[in-house]
């Protein structure tokens, strides 16, 4: 076969070799394939990286920061930075010390610095050790925020790619600020502010040049260069940082020499991030978070939770509770106390004290303790009656009364005869409260209580009027806030906003007020509850010229002592008692006194606002339809002559007590005088005698009756002095003031 001339020419032009045997062919193919492989590899890496929007993260993953209303940090969890500083708040020499130590070409590269890697390798070879790293500050930041610490090629490639992306998203100053706030520097310190505190108990602006160099030298290996564990290595590392700062022209030789001669003087402190302020409140916040944030986000994201807590009021609340436990608690045999303050207009919780000592017992008595509210529940019974169209001046008979085998009794076992609703609430008369409940019905009363904020189950029993159904302090306080807002109820809450790692708001509070009670009925109830404070069992809560409304409450054997009170701008609830439900020797006057101690200081500087005027009573129409209960059996007995005499004495005692209360604002001390003549052991014996007497009376009656003696809001008077003791804790000590006993004289004043 003949070879064509044209093919001969081609072979001659190519040197007689096929194309696939040419070097330039393979070189080109290799370069092209490398480019394609690089593009594919980069795209593969990019698919595993965070979204571009996440590159603005300012927090580590799995961190939680809870802040008060003024921005102060209450608690942090995880690898969190207590103080996030702006770049301008960080001393210039401290910034330059980190740049000299970690990334001398920080301002020149685009996130990845091959030149720096070569330089670091040469320096490490010369030193026969690792004295300089090749990662840029940007690479270190991406590792902190997004990557794990495993030493793999794949992780390094992702780190480089992320650094390049971050350089396009953020400025150099933004990168440096985030890095200096997040870098781990040993000893539990995250960021330069934490490190300055942990090692030197200083703020960053108080550090010396030598101390700045010491902190900057920690970044590559905090455990190796920790000044509190390895001071010699820390000094060598500090001196190297100072040398680099001089080489870079950041400091003069004289400044370096002075810093080299400075001894390493440590003043160690625990990281501020381990401190927890208001622990009962922050634990409540953490339990509330799942309502607003998915569980996956809580577990993996870094979150900042902004709360409603007022740190100033919180401190005052803690002091008031501690003072009561220290003084009254010692004398009246209660070991625990709780308090919560709420802005009723917004539902924001401003202060919360859940017990005596969170470190010993984390049980929150504001939100977790279910206790009998005693007479504080009467507020809902009477509110239902007023809303159904009844007048505060409608009268009922305070006399022996049995309904379907249930016999309510006043704590003093006395009867006053005919009384109107307002006075019955003021004196906290049990029998009339039950009669009012029968007139208005279980269903309307329970519905109103739930609408106003009570969430606990309420059972339709006659003892409901006397607070036999258990509730917690938060819901009871919130419900009374509905009186303060003229019948509007807003859900109580402690969180205003939740922010993600990028600082974006992912949830914000938007609780709307709902009408629970008509405004006229709420205003009438406030007028009646003001009388409880001005003339009745809540006199210890008076605040001078500032109007106060509220209600006391005491459960059986004074196991629970309550006061829920409010001014137009704030509603505060107080509970005193024992976790094991043991009886106390106290009265609800102690709770009202604790309320006063808190509110007197919390209300300083707050404008004095008046409650709405009482609306006209004539021609009112009910907004709630009463559903009167039809008992199967009702037994009414008349008051005998002895009871009449007792009732008259009680009324006279109440009147004189009211007069004295107007002269002496706090009734707490007066209530103490009432019982000061008997020791705790004597009081217990008196209670036992009353119980035995009641039991024998009950056994002799047919049919057997259930007796409930819940009220008074003060300890029962000894039987030997019954005729001279006041009824239903009106706050007086009788028609004449007895001399203080030895117990009264020894009582601590603070």
Query: Considering 375, 590, 712, 730, which one is annotated as catalytic?
Result: 375
- CB-based burial, 515-554: b 16+ in 10 Å, e otherwise: ebbbebbbbbbbbbbbbbbbbbbbbbbbbeebbbbbbbbb
- Annotated catalytic residue 375: yes
Q: Please state, in angstroms and rounded to a whole number, the distance separating the CA atoms of residues 362 and 354.
A: 8
Q: Please state, in angstroms and rounded to a whole number, the distance separating the CA atoms of residues 535 and 530.
A: 8
Place of tokens 């003696």: 709
657: alpha, beta or left? (left if phi > 0; alpha if psi -120 to 50): alpha
Q: Where are the alpha helices (DSSP H) in 465-587?
A: 473-484, 519-535
Q: Please state, in angstroms and rounded to a whole number, the distance separating the CA atoms of residues 176 and 597.
A: 49
Q: Which of 328, 327, 325 is CA-nearest to residue 336?
A: 325
Q: Which residues contact 711 (CB under 8 A, 6 or more apart)?
A: 374, 375, 410, 411, 428, 429, 430, 466, 554, 728
Q: E strand or H helix at 452, and its extent?
A: helix 442-452
Q: Are 386 and 521 in contact (CB under 8 A)?
A: yes
Question: Distance between alpha carbon 492 and the CA centroid of its chain, in Å?
Answer: 11
- Annotated catalytic residue 102: yes
Q: Please state, in angstroms and rounded to a whole number, the distance separating the CA atoms of residues 137 and 103.
A: 6
Place of tokens 């505190």: 197
Q: Please state, in angstroms and rounded to a whole number, the distance separating the CA atoms of residues 408 and 646.
A: 18
Q: Which of 94, 83, 84 is CA-nearest to residue 208?
A: 94
64-67 vs 560-567, strand pairing mode: unpaired
For 144, the token pair is 């902190």
Beta bridge partners, 156, equal none
The SS3 assignment for 75 reads strand
Query: Considering 102, 132, 306, 711, which one is annotated as catalytic?
Result: 102
Beta bridge partners, 76, equal 65
Q: Which of 644, 550, 632 is CA-nearest to residue 599?
A: 550
- Whether residue 404 has a cis bond before it, omega within 30° of 0: no
Place of tokens 């495993």: 150
Q: Please state, in angstroms and rounded to a whole number, the distance separating the CA atoms of residues 381 and 581.
A: 26
Q: Please state, in angstroms and rounded to a whole number, the distance separating the CA atoms of residues 653 and 223.
A: 75
Question: Residue 120 half-sphere exposure, CB side, CA atoms within 13 Å?
Answer: 19
Q: Are 140 and 102 in contact (CB under 8 A)?
A: yes
Give Cα separations from 428 to 43, 411, 553, 729 (angstroms).
Answer: 77, 10, 9, 8
For 526, the token pair is 């406030």
Sign, Cα dihedral of 350, 356, 361, 364: negative
Q: Please state, in angstroms and rounded to a whole number, the distance separating the CA atoms of residues 436 and 374.
A: 16
The SS3 assignment for 660 reads helix
For 550, the token pair is 């509220």
Q: Which of 713, 373, 354, 342 is CA-nearest to residue 511?
A: 342
Q: Which of 358, 262, 286 is CA-nearest to residue 318?
A: 358
Place of tokens 């009745």: 536
Place of tokens 């009680």: 650
Give Cα separations from 55 to 8, 48, 167, 648 (angstroms).
Answer: 63, 14, 10, 79
Annotated active-site positions, please? 102, 375
């Amino acid at each position: 076969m003949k070879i064509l001339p044209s093919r001969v020419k081609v072979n001659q032009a190519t040197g007689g070799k096929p194309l696939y045997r040419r070097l330039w062919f393979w070189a080109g193919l290799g370069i092209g394939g490398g480019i394609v492989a690089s593009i594919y590899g980069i795209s593969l890496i990019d698919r595993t990286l965070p979204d571009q929007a996440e590159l603005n993260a300012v927090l580590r993953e799995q961190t939680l920061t809870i802040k008060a209303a003024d921005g102060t940090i209450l608690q942090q969890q995880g690898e969190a930075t207590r103080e996030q500083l702006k770049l301008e708040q960080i001393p210039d020499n401290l910034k330059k010390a980190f740049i000299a130590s970690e990334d001398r070409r920080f301002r020149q590269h685009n996130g990845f610095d091959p030149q720096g890697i070569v330089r670091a390798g040469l320096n490490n070879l010369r030193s026969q050790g690792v004295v300089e790293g090749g990662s840029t500050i940007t690479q270190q930041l991406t590792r902190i925020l997004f990557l794990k610490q495993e030493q793999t090629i794949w992780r390094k490639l992702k780190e480089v790619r992320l650094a390049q992306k971050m350089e396009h998203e953020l400025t150099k100053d933004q990168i440096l600020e985030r890095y200096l706030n997040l870098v781990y520097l040993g000893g539990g310190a995250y960021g330069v502010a934490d490190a300055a505190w942990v090692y030197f108990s200083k703020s960053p602006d108080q550090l010396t040049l030598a101390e700045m160099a010491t902190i900057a030298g920690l970044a590559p290996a905090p455990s190796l260069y920790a000044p509190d564990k390895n001071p010699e290595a820390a000094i060598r590392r500090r001196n190297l940082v100072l040398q680099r700062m001089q080489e870079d022209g950041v400091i003069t030789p004289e400044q370096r020499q002075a810093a080299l001669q400075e001894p390493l003087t440590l003043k160690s402190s625990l990281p501020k991030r381990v401190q927890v302020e208001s622990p009962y409140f922050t634990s409540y916040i953490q339990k509330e978070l799942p309502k607003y944030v998915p569980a996956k986000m809580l577990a993996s994201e870094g979150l900042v939770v902004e709360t409603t807590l007022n740190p100033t009021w919180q401190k005052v609340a803690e002091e008031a509770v501690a003072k009561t436990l220290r003084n009254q608690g010692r004398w009246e045999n209660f070991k625990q106390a709780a308090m919560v303050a709420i802005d009723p207009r917004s539902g924001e919780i401003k202060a919360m004290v859940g017990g005596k000592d969170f470190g010993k017992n984390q049980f929150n008595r504001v939100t977790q303790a279910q206790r009998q509210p005693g007479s504080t529940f009467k507020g809902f019974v009477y509110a239902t009656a007023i809303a159904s169209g009844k007048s505060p001046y409608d009268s009922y008979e305070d006399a022996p009364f049995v309904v379907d085998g249930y016999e309510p009794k006043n704590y003093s076992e006395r009867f006053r005869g005919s009384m109107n609703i307002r006075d019955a609430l003021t004196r906290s008369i049990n029998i009339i409260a039950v009669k009012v409940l029968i007139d208005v019905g279980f269903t309307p009363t329970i519905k109103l209580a739930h609408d106003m904020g009570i969430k606990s189950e309420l059972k339709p029993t006659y003892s409901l009027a006397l607070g036999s159904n258990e509730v917690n302090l938060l819901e009871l306080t919130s419900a009374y806030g509905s009186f303060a807002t003229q019948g509007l109820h807003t859900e109580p809450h402690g969180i205003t906003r939740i922010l993600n790692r990028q600082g974006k708001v992912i949830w914000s509070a938007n609780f709307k007020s709902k009408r629970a009670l008509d405004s006229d009925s709420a205003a009438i109830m406030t007028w009646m509850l003001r009388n409880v404070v001005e003339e009745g069992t809540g006199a210890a809560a008076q605040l001078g010229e500032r109007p106060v409304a509220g209600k006391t409450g005491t459960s059986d054997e004074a196991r629970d002592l309550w006061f829920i009170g409010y001014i137009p701008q704030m509603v505060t609830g107080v509970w005193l008692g024992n976790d094991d439900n043991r009886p106390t020797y106290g009265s609800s006057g102690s709770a009202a006194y604790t309320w006063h101690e808190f509110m007197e200081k919390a209300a300083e500087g707050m404008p004095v606002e008046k409650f709405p005027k009482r609306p006209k009573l004539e021609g009112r129409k009910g907004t709630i339809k009463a559903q009167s209960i039809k008992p199967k059996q009702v037994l009414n007995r008349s008051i005998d002559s002895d009871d009449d005499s007792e009732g008259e004495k009680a009324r006279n005692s109440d009147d004189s007590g009211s007069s004295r209360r107007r002269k002496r604002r706090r009734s707490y001390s007066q209530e103490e005088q009432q019982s000061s003549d008997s020791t705790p052991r004597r009081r217990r014996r008196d209670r036992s005698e009353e119980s035995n007497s009641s039991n024998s009376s009950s056994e002799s009656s047919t049919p057997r009756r259930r007796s409930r003696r819940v009220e008074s809001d003060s300890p029962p008077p000894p039987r030997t002095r019954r005729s001279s003791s006041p009824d239903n804790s009106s706050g007086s000590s009788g028609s004449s003031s007895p001399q203080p006993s030895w117990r009264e004289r020894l009582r601590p004043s603070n």
